[in-house]
Amino acid sequence: MVTPAEFLLSATRADQFPSPGLPEIAFLGRSNVGKSTLLNTLTGQRHLAYSSSTPGRTQSVNFFRVDERFVFVDLPGYGYAKAPKPLVDSWKPVIDAYLRERTVLALSVLLVDARRAWMESDLQLKEWLEHHGRPYLVVATKVDKLNQKEKSASQKAFREYYPEGDLIWFSGPKGQGVKEIWQAIWKTQNR
């Protein structure tokens, strides 16, 4: 299914964010976790968000208007150790500013690689979202790379720090999880 979506703008600082309008869905996660792939899969548009095998490329906040109903926000990937340190540090304020100040933020989607489950930087972000009372759900990505046994180990690891919130298993190649993620996004509008 293809959902009409268009790129709006790219911001490296908070003063470049578009003026608040439609409800926003933010996508967060470590570099290379599969954010662009998820955005492309949700909209059915292969090239909407740039996806590459070179991690750490997306350094700006990218806004997309989706279906005239939502704005999807692709936040810079964090925790990519190989990026030059000053660059890594320069991403933090823009993520922080977005999550702290954005009045139209309806839901944050926290992507975590199912093969590793929580890393320190993911847990920090999760705590930050909870501390600021921001609703979020967790998407475990690349689940197609796990066998059944690895998947149950992964599930256990996720639940250790996230006992009961929404946890959706996603696979880009298999299209798994797309329906559930859309349902969670639509649900934000009936609160």
Ligand X SMILES: Nc1nc2c(ncn2[C@@H]2O[C@H](COP(=O)(O)OP(=O)(O)O)[C@@H](O)[C@H]2O)c(=O)[nH]1
d(CA 6, CA 122): 28
Q: What is the DSSP string of 136-166?
A: EEEEEE-GGG--HHHHHHHHHHHHHH-SSS-
Based on the shown chain and the rule CB under 6 A, indicate whether residue 145 belongs to the binding site for ligand X.
yes
Q: In what order do the strands lie in the sheet with 167-169?
A: 5-11, 61-66, 70-74, 24-29, 105-113, 136-141, 167-169
Using CB atoms, what's the residue nearest to Mg ion?
Answer: 36
Q: Which stretch binds ligand X (CB under 6 A): 100-108, 130-138, 148-156, 170-178?
A: 170-178
User: From the list ligand X, Mg ion, none, which binds 141 (C-beta under 5 to 8 Å, kind-based)?
Assistant: ligand X
Nearest residue (CB) to ligand X, 53 versus 103: 53
Based on the shown chain and the rule CB under 6 A, indicate whether residue 43 belongs to the binding site for ligand X.
no
x-or-dash string of contact with ligand X, 57-86, rule CB under 6 A: -x------------------x---------
Nearest residue (CB) to ligand X, 7 versus 21: 7
The residue ranges that bind Mg ion (CB under 5 A) are: 35-36, 58
Q: Which stretch binds ligand X (CB under 6 A): 98-106, 121-129, 142-150, 180-188?
A: 142-150
Q: Which stretch binds ligand X (CB under 6 A): 6-14, 83-91, 132-140, 164-172?
A: 164-172
Beta strands in 15-149, from DSSP E residues, in sequence order: 24-29, 61-66, 70-74, 105-113, 136-141
Copy the structure tokens of residue 151. Answer: 């998947």
